[in-house]
Chain A
């Protein structure tokens, strides 16, 4: 392969061979670490220029430089060394470890960041290397199987659709559980469901997570809630995904160009009928081009990334296009003032098929045998049917275009060495236009209007503009005595979000237009959400002999989403960390060779979720009715409405063995959601709508275990594994006397909130076999928990020299899910699998829904990939060429014969609950085979 590539690149090299070199001399050498081992990847820069090089795998470098010039050697975690070039052509350098720099610093939301070892909470971190390796286009796809304690469930294979993301169980009946997303300190739109007025495609909908900028990410911190999120305040109880973008580094300028091509093939493992694939599926291609530039000096550094992506999906109609560019910069304005700025733009265009819970859906129609079981059709019948589905596919027209701008500005002022002021201000603006054209031709084909009708076309357009401004000002002070250290943070944060939606509908139109002006009947509706949140926070981290750390602080939080009779909430946090293995006596003891790290930690913290803006107000509605205004009652209102508050207590242990070649992390957490926001049914006799109230209590208890092992780490070989296992025991401990209420699913088989049960458990009428052989029908039977209480991920990484191989997987077990396609087939009389004969036809299938609920266990291999760095074979044109190949979603093992992830219709409406308890009517995430070639300059 290497030979072949070299051969392929030869013509290119020829073009550049005539380039003349500067007449400096070439200095070579080896860079080693403290223990004398060669250090690959060390940046070697000619000071005052942008010339430079990097050390290869054996620590060797070569650089052209004039005598008397200076070479700067820098590497993460090592102290930077500058050498003056003398007469010798060889300069060997030994770098020294920089203990402070090696400490992983966590951004912690506010302040200037705190070293990981001082924190009592855990954070899942992905660095740029992890991110670059995966072909994911969406943040949820990236986190899946890489964030050890996150549960990420891809709800549909259609482009841009949302995943259900959770960590420590379902904490709220009033939110989808999607974490807050923060990019460089700025909150961004994270709407993970269809907007309130969004176009109903039946189930799977385009999510804001699909257009979170993925270019130039330096690192992602996944903060799971509890004490770790206290300082973030409002709405952070579901956790935080914090994205820090690249801003360039002092050192050599670099650039890359990457081209990827891929094949996309539908996952057919779960189809009931082979003919479904024949009707809809069609392998597609993906293409992506990416470029990146970065560089800078100690005064100014920059990073630019841009990409263009397109795929035409695994079926006959879906397509997605993504265009992004992003840049980040750091400037040292004065000795004391630094400025960091970042900006990103994402354009995302996609289209959807109808799916899940709409009778227009081809996939659910086929799999649910809406027009009969296709495996029983004669070939001739099937050809007619096939032609019908193909025609419908060509006429389906649901599109979504999003433009998102995110900008962050951060000012860092060092008053002195120990006192820093940070100010951040930034915005996120995400504008989406959804359009659905239901042409006369499509309606005729679907059979909803008579053949020959030409004036009943419909066009719906939904405009949504989400805007968030975030500002933050904080002071960080550090102080040291002989035995103690103090980090103090005091700050204030403010953010304001608005969500404005307009839905415009035209009906009574002819085909051939996309202008609403051309429709005989036009109606519109609007929807506005607006909220302002502000909080003051402080944090004190006290180091005791540099081994134990006591942390305490809190946030005083106020949001406009609260009733008039409420006051701001005070959210406290306290934590303690003890790094036993950092004691000198321990390090001197023999046992430290075996157990190299022992860290104990405990903490308590509170975080909140607020209700939907304006839910606290009593309102009336004025609806248009046949051209006249009409009044009616609207929201009943609640003066006492406050954010729900999640109180989490956490204990943890970190162990490292054999110089941390084997490391283990264990956490016990108990999270209690108090004043939980429940929206039970109002008494029907009141005639009023349901009102959200702080009446519930939800408890989530569990363990999080993560293991990382590096059994092989020799000169060129490195092999590591990681495995995580998490449990969550979820219970609604109090429903405030409210009757059980449905938060998802369907009328007679719902995802229900009920005291004494798991949040969103499945409930329906079960047929129970009696001793005499008859069946008793028991209404309101608990049929299983929608949230799998056991889950985790695993991975393998193998490196041999320039070759890397990796694989990731995730799994869950213990949960339940409804196979709704099966239920539909049964209702239509085409599938009685496993249903007792006595029941078939004797009563409504909704009286024996227990036969449609199955285990949601699965193990899925998400990614298998390999890459090879060819190094400087194409010198001087390219400093490195990397070839990589990845397969996503190649293998699945599931308990049932359907995909328990495809819960397109299980993601509730905006600000609703995502139960994920109903597998139905949408395609699984496809298999992709991607090869990419990256040229580094």
Chain B
């Protein structure tokens, strides 16, 4: 009997232990996502964080490219999917694309700073190369802030600082990166900041330093087609196919689409800091210094470099120029645009060759006859336009700046409507020709198309303005 009592008691006691409690405990829930402790202080977290910055850069380009390419003469939007305002340079604080562009650039900064301040120091395997990259991405966020906005806060709900200050801060951050682990693209980023600041000699020094490290470097932003972010601009140019959203200026037809289908898991990259830009900066500095020989040398080197870049042979037959009104835009090789043949490709007749890094209509002959005059400078700007198509520089070259988003104005006590940065900056010589930026005449039967304006000439004739052609 005693044994039975003992045995029964044992069963009861065992039944009351916590283990069985799990069977009826339904109250606990577990968030499957990562907490801060799972990120900060973990080995190798800095390198994973760095990949996060690369990914964030893709998000930045997904915002800036559509706005800046539509805001320039490069592309016109013929459909409803992408921004509806930038073609007319209606730059408004209420446009959510302003918000998203600003947010992605500032997220890049916040991620870079968190990497420098928290993730890096907490990671036992943190190294100089990664630290340099964190500084570089911080610098890029300031560089983009300066390129696209006349003023923008540099910290959460902070005081907006001007484009010039952003360029200066970009240089400081990138110098920090160079000090740790110099790379050609760091120097080029510094050269670009100095270029837009009009600091010719600093720009030349940095561009030269970049090329001395590598004469054909090409820093790219990559896109993950399967997991995202995929390349939004590739969607606009190619993937949405017959929707034919964005159409290039006919003079640029042969360069479109720079981005096309790559693989099911990787989208075409953006070549955002490439050696070509260093040669173009040096050539422009040459013209500014009345050194036509230096300008010619650099442009020749540029052509040599471009000749070595990848040209993709693609089927672009679904491009109809355009879906809404087929054949309304130049769409065959015989069309002559602005008196120049060979600028338009015949896409319905087999594959076409499209440069995926850089392409240009500039020839060695053009270079040899080039003079140190406005025509020469205009040709250089045409080359900049061609080489940088779909890379977001043209609108910056036009001196156009976006605005701070309405939400930021409402939330941030340091900003009021009307302050610097809250109104669009469009140089007067651009605002008068907004409707002509993408316009052209096309005589289909004669095979002749003419753009209404030559924006490169417009820029050069206004070279004394502070807003464009920074070396003049």
Residues of A within 8 A of B (CB): 359, 371-372, 446-451, 456, 469, 494, 496, 505, 507-508, 520-521, 523, 526, 528, 530-532, 534, 560, 613-614, 617-635, 680-688, 738-739, 741-742, 747-748, 765, 779-780, 824, 827-829, 843-847
**Chain A's interface: helix, strand, loop or mixed, by majority?**
mixed
B: contact size bracket:
35 or more
> Are the CB atoms of A532 and B29 closer together than 8 Å?
yes
Chain A residues near B95 (CB-CB < 8 A)? 747-748
> Are the CB atoms of B242 and A447 closer together than 8 Å?
yes
For the complex formed, measure the closest distance between the CB of A316 and the CB atoms of chain B, giving whole angstroms: 22
Instruction: Return the CB mask of B398-409 against A: 1 if under 8 Å, else 0.
Output: 000000011110
> Are the CB atoms of A625 and B45 closer together than 8 Å?
no
Q: Is B85 an interface residue (CB 8 A)?
A: yes
Residue of B nearest to A495 (CB): B26
Q: Is B34 an interface residue (CB 8 A)?
A: yes
CA–CA, A626 and B226, complex, Å: 9
Nearest first, the 4 closest Cβ-Cβ pairs linking A and B are: A447-B242, A687-B107, A687-B110, A739-B410
> Are the CB atoms of B240 and A633 closer together than 8 Å?
no
> Are the CB atoms of A685 and B155 closer together than 8 Å?
yes
* Sample (27) of A-B pairs whose CB atoms are under 8 Å apart: A456-B264, A494-B26, A508-B264, A523-B226, A534-B27, A618-B36, A619-B33, A620-B33, A621-B34, A623-B227, A624-B227, A625-B224, A625-B227, A626-B222, A627-B265, A632-B55, A633-B107, A683-B157, A683-B412, A685-B156, A685-B158, A688-B156, A739-B406, A765-B94, A779-B92, A779-B94, A828-B80
B residues 354-410 near A (Cβ < 8 Å) are: 405-408, 410
For the complex formed, measure the closest distance between the CB of B309 and the CB atoms of chain A, giving whole angstroms: 22
Q: Is B48 an interface residue (CB 8 A)?
A: yes
Q: Which of B98-106, B291-299, B425-433, B450-458 contacts A (4 or more CB under 8 A)?
A: B98-106
CA–CA, A494 and B410, complex, Å: 43
Residue of B nearest to A372 (CB): B324
CA–CA, A619 and B95, complex, Å: 29
Chain A residues near B110 (CB-CB < 8 A)? 633, 686-688
Q: Quick one: given A685-B106, A739-B406, are A748 and B31 in contact (CB under 8 Å)?
A: no
Chain A residues near B49 (CB-CB < 8 A)? 630-631
Q: Is B461 an interface residue (CB 8 A)?
A: no
Chain A residues near B239 (CB-CB < 8 A)? 448
Q: Is B266 an interface residue (CB 8 A)?
A: yes
Q: Which of A372, A619, A632 has the most CB of B within 10 A?
A: A632
Q: Quick one: given A686-B157, A687-B156, are A748 and B96 in contact (CB under 8 Å)?
A: yes
CA–CA, A203 and B114, complex, Å: 38
For the complex formed, measure the closest distance between the CB of B424 and the CB atoms of chain A, giving whole angstroms: 13
CA–CA, A765 and B96, complex, Å: 13
Q: Quick one: given A530-B29, A618-B35, A620-B36, are A687 and B106 in contact (CB under 8 Å)?
A: yes
> Are the CB atoms of A844 and B88 closer together than 8 Å?
yes
> Are the CB atoms of A621 and B88 closer together than 8 Å?
no
CA–CA, A49 and B23, complex, Å: 45
Chain B residues near A632 (CB-CB < 8 A)? 52, 55-56, 111
Further pairs besides A627-B265, A688-B110: 13, Cβ < 8 Å: A449-B241, A521-B263, A620-B34, A621-B33, A625-B224, A626-B266, A630-B54, A631-B34, A681-B99, A683-B157, A683-B412, A738-B411, A779-B94
CA–CA, A528 and B405, complex, Å: 33
CA–CA, A426 and B222, complex, Å: 51
For the complex formed, measure the closest distance between the CB of A80 and the CB atoms of chain B, giving whole angstroms: 42
Chain A residues near B206 (CB-CB < 8 A)? none
B residues 90-139 near A (Cβ < 8 Å) are: 90, 92, 94-97, 99-100, 102-103, 106-111, 114, 119
> Are the CB atoms of B408 and A684 closer together than 8 Å?
yes
Q: Quick one: given A687-B103, A847-B90, are A625 and B55 in contact (CB under 8 Å)?
A: yes
Q: Quick one: given A620-B35, A626-B222, A683-B411, are A450 and B318 in contact (CB under 8 Å)?
A: yes
> Are the CB atoms of A631 and B156 closer together than 8 Å?
no
> Are the CB atoms of B102 and A630 closer together than 8 Å?
no
> Are the CB atoms of A359 and B39 closer together than 8 Å?
no
> Are the CB atoms of B51 and A625 closer together than 8 Å?
yes
> Are the CB atoms of A628 and B90 closer together than 8 Å?
no
For the complex formed, measure the closest distance between the CB of B258 and the CB atoms of chain A, giving whole angstroms: 18
Instruction: Return the CB mask of B50-92 against A: 1 if under 8 Å, else 0.
Output: 0110111000000000000000000000001100110010101
CA–CA, A560 and B27, complex, Å: 8
> Are the CB atoms of B56 and A448 closer together than 8 Å?
no
For the complex formed, measure the closest distance between the CB of A684 and the CB atoms of chain B, giving whole angstroms: 4
Residues of B within 8 A of A (CB): 26-36, 38-39, 45, 48-49, 51-52, 54-56, 80-81, 84-85, 88, 90, 92, 94-97, 99-100, 102-103, 106-111, 114, 119, 152-153, 155-158, 222, 224, 226-228, 239-243, 263-266, 315, 317-318, 323-324, 405-408, 410-412
For the complex formed, measure the closest distance between the CB of A512 and the CB atoms of chain B, giving whole angstroms: 18
Q: Quick one: given A534-B27, A618-B36, A748-B84, are A633 and B410 in contact (CB under 8 Å)?
A: no
Chain B residues near A372 (CB-CB < 8 A)? 324
Partner of B27, one of A371, A532, A623: A532
Chain A residues near B266 (CB-CB < 8 A)? 626
> Are the CB atoms of A685 and B54 closer together than 8 Å?
no
CA–CA, A371 and B84, complex, Å: 19
Residue of A nearest to B104 (CB): A687
CA–CA, A530 and B27, complex, Å: 10
CA–CA, A846 and B265, complex, Å: 35
For the complex formed, measure the closest distance between the CB of A389 and the CB atoms of chain B, giving whole angstroms: 14
Chain B residues near A456 (CB-CB < 8 A)? 264
Q: Which of B39, B54, B158 has the most CB of A within 10 A?
A: B39
For the complex formed, measure the closest distance between the CB of B312 and the CB atoms of chain A, giving whole angstroms: 14
Q: Which of A456, A505, A507, A622 has the most CB of B within 10 A?
A: A622
> Are the CB atoms of A448 and B242 closer together than 8 Å?
yes
For the complex formed, measure the closest distance between the CB of B119 and the CB atoms of chain A, giving whole angstroms: 8
> Are the CB atoms of A685 and B52 closer together than 8 Å?
no
For the complex formed, measure the closest distance between the CB of A843 and the CB atoms of chain B, giving whole angstroms: 7
> Are the CB atoms of A630 and B157 closer together than 8 Å?
no
Chain B residues near A824 (CB-CB < 8 A)? 80
> Are the CB atoms of A622 and B411 closer together than 8 Å?
no
Chain B residues near A523 (CB-CB < 8 A)? 226-227, 265
Q: Which of B95, B114, B224, B227 has the most CB of A within 10 A?
A: B227
CA–CA, A854 and B319, complex, Å: 37
Q: Quick one: given A739-B406, A779-B92, are A614 and B227 in contact (CB under 8 Å)?
A: no
> Are the CB atoms of A448 and B241 closer together than 8 Å?
yes
CA–CA, A828 and B322, complex, Å: 12
> Are the CB atoms of A532 and B323 closer together than 8 Å?
no
> Are the CB atoms of B39 and A631 closer together than 8 Å?
yes
Residue of B nearest to A449 (CB): B241
> Are the CB atoms of B108 and A687 closer together than 8 Å?
yes
Residue of A nearest to B316 (CB): A450
Partner of B55, one of A526, A619, A630, A748: A630
For the complex formed, measure the closest distance between the CB of B360 and the CB atoms of chain A, giving whole angstroms: 27
For the complex formed, measure the closest distance between the CB of A263 and the CB atoms of chain B, giving whole angstroms: 37
Q: Which of B107, B157, B243 has the most CB of A within 10 A?
A: B107
> Are the CB atoms of A780 and B48 closer together than 8 Å?
no
Chain A residues near B119 (CB-CB < 8 A)? 631
Q: Quick one: given A617-B35, A619-B34, A620-B34, are A688 and B107 in contact (CB under 8 Å)?
A: yes
CA–CA, A356 and B249, complex, Å: 31
CA–CA, A530 and B410, complex, Å: 35
Q: Quick one: given A621-B33, A622-B48, are A828 and B324 in contact (CB under 8 Å)?
A: yes
> Are the CB atoms of A683 and B94 closer together than 8 Å?
no
Chain B residues near A829 (CB-CB < 8 A)? 324
Partner of B240, one of A359, A526, A748: A359
CA–CA, A265 and B45, complex, Å: 60
> Are the CB atoms of A447 and B99 closer together than 8 Å?
no
> Are the CB atoms of B90 and A532 closer together than 8 Å?
no
Partner of B85, one of A531, A534, A846: A846
For the complex formed, measure the closest distance between the CB of A215 and the CB atoms of chain B, giving whole angstroms: 30
CA–CA, A574 and B94, complex, Å: 46
Chain B residues near A685 (CB-CB < 8 A)? 102, 106, 152-153, 155-158, 408, 412
Chain A residues near B31 (CB-CB < 8 A)? 614, 617, 619
